[in-house]
Amino acid sequence: MQGIDHYENFPVASWLCPPRLRAPILAIYHYARTADDLADEGDASAEQRLADLAAYRHDLLACAQDQADSARWPEVFGPLGVALREHHLPLAALMALLDAFEQDVVYTAQARRYLDRPALLAYCERSANPVGRLLLHLHDVTDQAALAHSDAICTALQLINLWQDRAQDLARGRDYLPLGHDLRTELAFAEMLMHRGAPLVRRLPGRSGWELRLVVQGGLRILQRLHALSDAQLAQGHTQPRPRLDKRDATVLLWRALWM
């Protein structure tokens, strides 16, 4: 599934997505995008960001219970309310995303680092894995093997996005690289996770399966670009211009997707 620049690794409803799922997928996307903006964009203080995220959480709960919300984000909670009612989206997954965004604000304000890889993976469990689980829920794929494969892909995508955007995050006062870890080793770890989750592409039917194939191959292609950087560039977060995909990658991605 293809992402867009503003929230790169979120699978957005593309032409490959089944038409019946485009509306709920876009509703989930706009919910996550808006919450991420509350945590990241602009020059608000940490206190204000946390207050806004708390208000956002309150509106989510109101939406889930068909109660009146604050009316601050009608473009978010109107469509999300429809998706919640029609598809019975798991509320815990939507809440977990807010936990991750709040964690981002706190860690930035306190200039904290992740002490080890398990701590970073625990963050990914809240910031990335819920997205995949929400999408699997929409496809009625909920067995444990599929969930484990989805978590591996989503964590890999989150890690790739972190290393892809490391220069930007460092400028914001965030460094997701665990203490004492080497970034090239972390790139290899993300690649391993992506391959671990890849069997999921054969669990999703038709167009959705093809879309997921392109997501997996797109992530691996970005890793290839990051691996090509020098050790000095990786160590200092000098990943500008930002490694990204363009039209020239389309043929490679389609060919590799075909062979999955």
Domain ranges of the chain: 19-112, 113-260
List pLDDT tens digits, range 139-149. Answer: 999 999 999 99
How many angstroms separate the CA atoms of 124 and 141, rounded?
Answer: 21
Note the pLDDT of residue 237.
64
Enumerate residues 6+ apart whose C-beta is below 8 A from 235.
183
pLDDT in tens, 53-85: 999 999 999 999 999 888 999 999 999 999 999
pLDDT at 192 over 70: yes
Query: Pick the residue with more confidence: 29 or 68?
Result: 29
pLDDT-based confidence at residue 2 (cuts at 50, 70, 90): very low
Q: Please give the DSSP secondary-structure letter assigned to residue 243.
A: P
Residues of the chain with pLDDT > 70, as a percent, come to 91
Helix and strand totals (H; E) in the chain: 12, 0
- How does DSSP assign 200-216, residue by residue? GGGTS-HHHHHHHHHHH
Cα–Cα–Cα angle for 255, 28, 240, nearest 5°? 55
Taking all residues of the chain, what is their mean pLDDT, rounded to a whole number? 87
Q: How far apart are CA 83 and CA 30, in angstroms?
A: 12
pLDDT (0 to 100) of residue 108: 85
User: Residue 85: its pLDDT value, please?
Assistant: 95
* Cα angle, residue 86 at apex, residues 84 and 91 outer, rounded to 5°: 25
Rounded to two decimals, what is the model's pTM? 0.88
Whether 95 has a pLDDT exceeding 90, the answer reads yes
Q: Does position 5 have pLDDT exceeding 60, yes or no?
A: no
Residue 91 C-alpha from the chain's centroid: 17
Band the pLDDT of 160: cuts 50, 70, 90: very high
| CATH code of the domain occupying 113-260 | 1.10.600.10
225-234 average pLDDT score: 82
164, 226 Cβ separation under 8 angstroms: yes
**Cβ contact 138:25 at 8 Å:** yes
Position 214 pLDDT exceeds 60: yes
